[in-house]
Amino acid sequence: MTLEMKVRVARQMLSVGNGAAAAAEAVGWSRATLYRHLKQHGTEPPPAEGAVVTRRPRGRSRYGQS
């Protein structure tokens, strides 16, 4: 199983409510390794080819106003 496949499986397991320990065990990693790979590759799957990526608008900081 390739690294990308393992990350995909772990993301899927986490998204349906499984714990990090179970997801890490399923792909043969420790929890620390799971978290390291999720940090490197992101916790969300990459957008589909041709998909439009939008972000929620950021509000103004309440601390910047006097």
| Model pLDDT for residues 2-59, shown as the tens digit of each residue | 998 999 999 999 989 999 999 999 999 999 999 999 988 877 776 677 777 676 666 6
Which residue in 37, 41, 39 sits closest to 28, CA to CA?
37
Which residue in 36, 17, 49 sits closest to 7, CA to CA?
36
Give the pLDDT band of residue 65 (cuts 50, 70, 90). Answer: low
Specify the pLDDT at position 64.
61
